Amino acid sequence: MKLARKQRDVLSVEWVKLELIRTAYATRGGLISRMDPRVVIGWYVLFAMAPWFTHNLTTLACLFALASVFVVISRVGPLVLGLFVIGLGFELVYLVLAATLFGGDFTTFVALTEVTVKLGVVSLVSLAAFVSLDPEKLSDALLALRFPPAVAFAVSYGYRMMPILVEEFSTVMEGYQLREAPPIKGGVLGWRHLAHWAKIVVKAFYPIFLNTAKSVRTTVEALEARGFTFATIDPRGREIRLGSLRVTGLDIAVVAATVVAITGCYAVGAAWPLHRT
């Protein structure tokens, strides 16, 4: 009788590495990933600016819910979404402590919550937009929007460096763990194990960036050997790179639906206003 195999690599370094690769290269698909990258950037700017024109908490709550819907249909991975939820939870704890310890009241808490909700909307929209763009699409969009070629390349290369950094971290950490035995006794709350792990992380810092610098040099040399600099200067290279960009009906429909939904959020806020006092 065969037993079902259980997945035990959640929260491991390997799982984090795979999630970063899926996030950087937009392998999960989703609605936003099928759109033109130039339109995605414009959609992001439109949505990110919407919460800053109101103090109505009802409108902000509706915008937050709308941004959450786009996160779901964009298939944002559990790693970045979990980091967002953890950060939001710590922010709420901070608001309660700030309002309590510094002589504030419920009004202070509401005022701080307003800013937090606005930043939360921007963060959710950022997740939906940039998780749906792989390095090539984002680089092409920036190039099409007349950004300097160096900026477009830096953004694209930065996306590719995240998995490399995690891979180097995993390799160096495993090497140190094989060479250094953990403490026999953990102590109160396992503080010796935590101190041992922190010591390894500090010692691994220099080798990680040294190995990454070597990878950067190798990549730059390979790009120059293939004529990267000349391709960014020659107009023919630009035309080849941007030849695949097309604005389709899906792009127009998503932007139009977003404008209507944002307008609806403001209408709901006007009908049932909730302002801080």
Is-contact 237 231, C-beta < 8 A? Answer: yes
Own/partner long-range contacts of 45-53 (Cβ < 8 Å, ≥24 apart)? 46/255, 46/258, 46/259, 46/262, 47/121, 47/125, 47/258, 47/262, 48/121, 48/122, 48/125, 48/126, 50/121, 50/262, 50/265, 51/117, 51/118, 51/121, 51/122, 52/118
The pLDDT-based confidence of 5 (bands split at 50, 70, 90) is very low
Q: Classify residue 28 by burial, with Cβ atoms within 10 Å: 0-12, 13-18, 19+.
A: middle
Mean pLDDT of 30-43: 90
Question: What whole-number distance in Å separates Cα of residue 113 and Cα of residue 107?
Answer: 10
Tokens 């500090």 belong to which residue? Answer: 202
Is-contact 120 95, C-beta < 8 A? Answer: no
**Which pLDDT value is given to residue 3?**
42
Residue 37 has pLDDT above 80, yes or no: yes
> Please, which residues have CB within 8 angstroms of residue 273's CB and are 6 or more apart in sequence?
56, 58
The reported pTM is: 0.77
Strand partners, 275: 56
Max Cα–Cα distance, the chain, nearest Å? 66
Nearest to 64 by CA among 116, 107, 111, 130: 116
The pLDDT-based confidence of 12 (bands split at 50, 70, 90) is low
Nearest to 162 by CA among 140, 142, 135: 135
In the chain, % of residues over pLDDT 70: 87
**Tens-digit pLDDT profile for residues 132-151:** 887 778 888 888 888 887 78
Q: Which secondary-structure segment (H or E) carries 17?
A: helix 13-24
Own/partner long-range contacts of 76-80 (Cβ < 8 Å, ≥24 apart)? 76/28, 76/127, 76/128, 76/131, 77/19, 77/22, 77/23, 77/28, 77/131, 78/19, 79/16, 79/19, 79/20, 79/23, 80/19, 80/23, 80/127, 80/131
Residue 31 has pLDDT above 80, yes or no: yes
**Tens-digit pLDDT profile for residues 95-104:** 778 777 776 6
